[in-house]
A and B are shown apart, each in its own frame.
Chain A
């Protein structure tokens, strides 16, 4: 096994098991539909809240997708093979996260124009929303991978993982929705984007190592 062959295999596995990815995306749409129906469908409420609604749905959908990212590999034993493969485990984990990120975030970006129009997001802040998604979502995947690796041995690990990981998502959500709000009010938002990027970079450094530790602890 080489890094490249692993990357290719992961990619193919995810593409052939599309249902997992599709489920996460459907969940994302359902949560978004919930807000206009549950709170108020009027543009007066939706326009300022749109960024926050999209980000809340995003966090929940990503958690759903990440929760099972190691499950199949754990059950069929290929997770153990990664540990004994002789390749660097943090790097392999990083590749796996990268594949999952691209497979989920690209369709999300494609759906975003439609969904933000449905929520009456002001046009000027649409590109800010895209920017927050691009610089903020890597940290969600990276942090979530730690929790996923820790709870992989549990049959019903989803709830526990949500409980443990969600507090770490709060700063990302705060800065992302803060940037969208600032853009809507005509304030400078580049500082908030820089904070999101900083969180993503910090988790890029820490998460692969931490996830590798958790994977090793889970498979032994």
Chain B
């Protein structure tokens, strides 16, 4: 199998031209999946015998929390790739995905707080999982802040990559916090290896909205990366061609 197509993705130009037509379909498909999952989950899935209707916030909370962690994992990998191989696309990726991840972490925290009120009787507890997701949010904000404050772009890229890699240490803490410590937060809803404990009418819409949100985020990330590429490569002739086209 030839890996040339993969190496070509490291070049901003190839990446831009190759993904130009991908962002919109990914985003639209994701939106359709997300809406389907949400409407199914919020309106048609059976109620929980213990939590009643309040459990339905799972259809927003779980996808957002999963995405917050996946985005950070990808940031960490991109940071590592940049520090080791100095690929040009890696800082563009970090720049594009960090704000999306921050929004996802915030969504997970807010929806979790809203869910916590009826089920635990409190908006917030200083529980291991909640605190580590809050730290994840702060790490995202740190990456965004350092990217935007440092004026030297080479230094800013390197700084964001370093912080992304260092912050990876927080991910296993989030993942295993509910297993290591006895906390209020319940254990994972989904695992790859086991059948979920919920009935199929309950987990199916959840699965669909998770996939939908992944696709939406992928589409958004591609869009943001494309505009960063145009901004950073604005001196290249292919960008002029691309933006101006055949004439103004």
Chain A residues within CB distance 8 Å of chain B: 146, 150-151, 153-154, 160, 163-164, 166-168, 170-171, 206, 210, 213-214, 217-218, 220
Contact = CB atoms under 8 A, between A and B. Distances in A.
Given A154-B150, A217-B154, A218-B155, A167 B162 contact: no
B121 to A, nearest CB: 25
Given A146-B166, A213-B158, A218-B155, A153 B139 contact: no
B155 A213 contact: no
Contacts of B163: 150, 164
A146 B162 contact: yes
Given A164-B146, A170-B135, A217-B158, 17 more contacts: A150-B155, A150-B159, A153-B150, A153-B155, A154-B150, A160-B145, A163-B142, A163-B145, A164-B142, A164-B143, A164-B163, A167-B138, A167-B139, A167-B167, A171-B173, A217-B159, A220-B154
19 contacts: A150-B159, A151-B146, A154-B149, A154-B150, A160-B145, A163-B142, A164-B145, A166-B138, A167-B138, A167-B167, A168-B166, A170-B131, A171-B173, A206-B166, A213-B83, A213-B162, A214-B158, A214-B162, A217-B158
4 A-B pairs closest in CB distance: A164-B142, A217-B158, A150-B159, A167-B138
A210 B159 contact: no
Instruction: State the main secondary structure of chain B at its contact with A.
Output: helix
B167 A210 contact: no
B246 interface: no
B141 interface: yes
A160 B131 CA distance: 21
Contacts of A154: 149-150
Contact of B166 (A151, A166, A210): A210
B37 to A, nearest CB: 32
Nearest to A199: B169
B103 to A, nearest CB: 18
Contacts of B135: 167, 170
